[in-house]
Structure 1
Amino acid sequence: MDSGRRGKDLRIGDPERERAMRLLGEHFSAGRLELAEYDERCRQAAAARFGSELDGLFDDLPGPLPSGELTPAATRNTPSPAKIAMAVGAVVALLALVLVARQIGLILLIPALAIIFFTWRRR
């Protein structure tokens, strides 16, 4: 159900809070915030539930607002086309190995799957 909230008054999650704290850290590094201000704003960002609460932390700071740039689609990790091609090629090679060299293919299947898994997870 829609309670009439629109735009920046939508609920936020951890990725939005983390982005706001990262932006606050950049302002702190640039000397725009003192340590006490930075600490207080980070606490408020960690406790924020709505985008408008995060935007209020940046009212007197230059630059983009944290809620203005982060969308749910931007938070998803999508594999690159190279990773997809590698995975498809590896599956085809493993199937060919199992079909052609039956017993040795089955023995080599487990280490090959482990290599593929750890290569896929590496960023």
Structure 2
Amino acid sequence: MRYLAAFIPVIVRAPSPLYPPLAGVDPHAVRIAPASQLTDHDLVVGYAEEVTDESREASATDPDATRIFNGEFFRRPYTVDGHDIDGDGWVTLRSNCWVWRSGDLVLYVPRDYC
């Protein structure tokens, strides 16, 4: 069962202009969610990590201000296979590797769009 996705704005940087970050992937299908919410066959294409400085400054004066994250596309996306969460909140997204913290924000394409 899918969770309803909250809108979380992200400014995404590609790793290099020589490598298209989403070759063969429709950018309109990319979503963002905590690692704990991904399921098998979702395609992981990147991550969102830190709040932008402008967003941090805005939230200092207005606690309801929208938080905007910096993100980055991976050069090589990978498919979730063997999704598992351990007792300490670490998430494995691919056969005992690609470990994330459960709350880390992942850029991904849902399996229904792959």
The TM tier, using the shorter chain, reads: under 0.3
After TM superposition, the score normalised by the length of structure 2 is 0.23
Q: Which has the larger radius of gyration?
A: 1
After TM superposition, the score normalised by the length of structure 1 is 0.22
Comparing both structures, which one devotes a greater share of its residues to helix? 1
Q: Which has the higher contact order (CA 8 A, sep 6+)?
A: 2
Comparing both structures, which one devotes a greater share of its residues to strand? 2
